[in-house]
Structures are given as structure tokens and as C-alpha cells.
Homo-oligomer: A and B are copies of this chain.
């Protein structure tokens, strides 16, 4: 790629990171179409994941009655209804994609079958504790969620992530199996107008530590 091209793209990507906001003002009369929803999910799935397990699922809620029910589960966050689409991002607490994913690693020639089998058994073992399984679910699904938020921003949509909801009720509502946990709920839809100014951020000097905290 030519340097000039890379610079242009770089600026736009960085600008995207810097201008994305978690808006709460949605147009209640406008929704996203199916193609846009599919593209948001596609961009989300390009996030990295441990050993490429891609341990995530996305439940899109668009039915009006169900959106109202979901807003109640999220402690009456009305903007979920106004957005028109809510996406529950969920994560696997078990390495249930491991068989196929390690086959893909071997098929791609990234390592031989024996190494693949060994790495697979190490990976499966790393999920053995309940805590580690839950951590994997939340970590990986959150990486995907941030891509989804940025993809929405790129498409001129407003999107806001929420973790203030009844997780048990949300899991039941979304029909999640026992090995899949809610991680973050995202309201997404066409903007309803201006958002307030961004709140202050902790400074780089405060959060960046050299060698040790």
C-alpha cells in the first residue's frame, strides 16, 4: 500500500476511535435494516480471540414487545426501545468451538496435527476452572463488542453499551444455553440528534505506568 494511502486511512481510523460516543438519543421512528445488522455483526466477529475460538454469540432483539421487556430487564433504560435494535453480546464459558478451530489451524498449515492436538488440549484445560471460563467469555466478547460499537459509528449510527441489567433475567430472556453468559447489551439505531459533551477522561499520565505500577 502506498504511504499516502496508509496515512489517509490511518487518520480516518484514529478519528473514528476519537469521535465514537455512547449516545442515548435515538430516533424512535427509524430502525436499521437487515443488511446493516449483518454488517455490524460481521465487523464484530473480526475481533481477535484466544486461539481464534471466537467464543461469542449475538442476539438481536427488534420486536417492539420484546424490546419493552428487555428495557425492563435493563432497569428501565428507555433508549433501548427508542433505538429499535438491542444486541445482547454473549460469551462461551466452555471451549465449544475448539474441535473445529484447531482443525482449521492445522488445515491452514500453521502447525502439524500433533502440535494442534497438544495446543487444543492445553486450551481446553485453560477453561477448566469456572472462573477462567467466565473470564474468557467476558474478555473475548468485549473485544468483539468494541468492534461492533465502532462499526456502528462508522455507519453514522448511535450505539451505546450497557452492563446495567439483570444478567440472569437477560440470559433467560435471550434463551442462552447454560454455557453462554450475557456480557454486554448494545442499543443501536439511527441518531435522534445531538449528544451532550464527552465527560472527562483519566489522563494518559494517570493510567500509563512504566515497567511497573
Report how many copies the assembly holds: 2
Give A104 Cβ to nearest chain B Cβ, in Å. Answer: 5
CB contact between A142 and one of B97, B108, B146 (< 8 Å): that residue: B146
Interface residues of A in 178-207 (CB under 8 A from B): 180, 183-184, 196-197, 199-202, 204, 207
A145 within 8 Å of B (CB atoms): yes
Contact check, B6 vs A156: say whether CB atoms are below 8 A apart: yes
CB contact between A14 and one of B43, B199, B213 (< 8 Å): that residue: B43
Contact check, B14 vs A8: say whether CB atoms are below 8 A apart: no
Give complex CA distance A153, B16 in Å: 13
Collect the chain B residues with CB atoms within 8 Å of residue A204's CB: 38, 41-42, 45
A46 within 8 Å of B (CB atoms): yes
Interface residues of A in 80-127 (CB under 8 A from B): 90, 97, 101, 104-105, 108, 110, 126
Collect the chain B residues with CB atoms within 8 Å of residue A47's CB: 146
Give complex CA distance A108, B196 in Å: 9
Interface string of A155-170 (1 = CB under 8 A from B): 1100011011000000
Contact check, B10 vs A197: say whether CB atoms are below 8 A apart: no
Contact check, B211 vs A63: say whether CB atoms are below 8 A apart: yes
**Number of A residues whose C-beta is below 8 Å from B?**
88
CB contact between A135 and one of B15, B138, B174, B208 (< 8 Å): that residue: B138
Collect the chain B residues with CB atoms within 8 Å of residue A196's CB: 108, 110
Contact check, B207 vs A150: say whether CB atoms are below 8 A apart: no
Can you name the residue of chain B whose Cβ is closest to the Cβ of A90? B213
Collect the chain B residues with CB atoms within 8 Å of residue A105's CB: 199
Contact check, A212 vs B175: say whether CB atoms are below 8 A apart: yes
Interface string of A24-64 (1 = CB under 8 A from B): 00000000000001100111011110101010111111110
**Are A163 and B143 also in contact (CB < 8 A) when A196-B110, A212-B175 are?**
no
Contact check, B45 vs A17: say whether CB atoms are below 8 A apart: no
